Amino acid sequence: EIVLTQSPGTLSLSPGERVTLSCRASQSVSSSYLAWYQQKPGQAPRLLIYGASSRATGIPDRFSGSGSGTDFTLTISRLEPEDFAVYYCQQYGSSPFTFGPGTKVDIK
Amino acid sequence: EVQLVQSGAEVKKPGESLKISCKGSGYSFTNYWIGWVRQMPGKGLEWMGIIYLGDSDTRYSPSFQGQVTISADKSISTAYLQWSSLKASDSAMYYCARPYYPSRLNDAFDIWGQGTMVTVSS
């Protein structure tokens, strides 16, 4: 089973700041089958990025993903008030398709 | 509109059985995989397993194998998650979710249900 580690656990930031979230896998994620999701309180997760770097439909271009192998990054170029949430990575290259523990981005 | 609609919240006692549902609409249900994800209170997302509606091919996470059963009835475009004997530790929100591409197992979850809250308490 591939274990995903996300860092940091929590980030306290201000609107307008640039954010970089990390996701590290215990073994290589095949074909860059790595996704990022955003979850707000009381809501289902929302897909942001798939294939490590492709934005899902309707996702603003301030969200970008990069990486390959075992190291992946989600970047939010300029935080908007609606971006304060928890972010999860998920690998879907090898079953079970595990999630990382999440990074909470909250308002400073 | 493509959507997954899940059954309502449940309150059960330990040892009881339960089956929750996830109904798809707005797309060809049998051409897709449907996955189940657990979220315990205040915790992260856990991938439980996934079923292909075309032939009921099912994969489980080792953490959930033998603890739950994933099934489907393609005639009514519905996937199910069931327990034969609930425990207090099964109390959680359960989401169903569908990948973007048809017939593709290795794909991110693009469409999510609204979640079903399961509470198990004596």
Report chain B residues whose CB lies below 8 A from the CB of A46: 112
Amino acid B96: pLDDT: 98
Predicted local confidence at residue A3, as pLDDT: 98
Chain B residues inside the 8 Å CB shell of A47:
100, 108-110
Smallest CA-to-CA distance from B54 within B104, B3, B116 is with B104
Mean pLDDT of chain A: 96
- The beta strand positions in B17-115, using DSSP E, are 18-25, 33-39, 45-52, 58-60, 69-73, 78-83, 92-99, 109-112
pLDDT at B26: 87
Q: CB-based contacts of B98: which residues, under 8 Å, 6+ apart? A: B2, B4, B24, B32, B33, B34, B35, B109, B110, B111, B112
Q: Note the pLDDT of residue B120.
A: 98
B30 DSSP assignment: G
* Residue A73 exposure: Cα atoms within 13 Å on the Cβ side: 8
pLDDT computed for residue B30 by the predictor: 87
The alpha helices in chain A, defined as continuous H runs, are none
Answer for the pair B92, B38: CB distance below 8 angstroms, yes or no: yes
Confidence check: pLDDT of A33 > 90: yes
**pLDDT at residue A14 tops 90:** yes
Per 3-state DSSP, what percentage of chain B is helix, strand, and coil (rounded to 5)? 5, 50, 40
Reported as a pLDDT band with limits 50, 70 and 90, residue A38 is very high
Pairs of CB atoms within 8 A across A/B: 72
Q: What average pLDDT does chain B have?
A: 96
Residue A77 has pLDDT above 90, yes or no: yes
Residue B34 CA to residue B45 CA, distance in Å, equals 16
For residue A45, is pLDDT > 90?
yes
Which pLDDT score, from 0 to 100, does residue B121 have? 97
Taking the CA atoms of A79, B112, A56 and B42 in sequence, report the sign of the dihedral they define.
positive
Do the chains contact at A56 and B109, CB–CB below 8 Å?
Answer: no
- Which residue does chain A place closest to B39, by CA atoms? A44
Picking from A84, A76, A89, the residue whose alpha carbon sits closest to that of residue A5 is A89
What is the distance in angstroms between the Cα of B115 and the nearest Cα belonging to chain A?
A: 7
The DSSP symbol for B100 reads S
Taking an 8 Å cut-off on Cβ atoms, the answer to whether B112 and A46 are in contact is: yes
Intervals of chain B under pLDDT 50: none
B45/A99 CB distance under 8 A: yes
Residue A30 has pLDDT above 90, yes or no: no
Question: How near does any CA of chain B get to the CA of A10, in Å?
Answer: 13
Put simply, whether A100 touches B (Cβ < 8 Å) is yes
- The pLDDT of residue A58 is above 90: yes
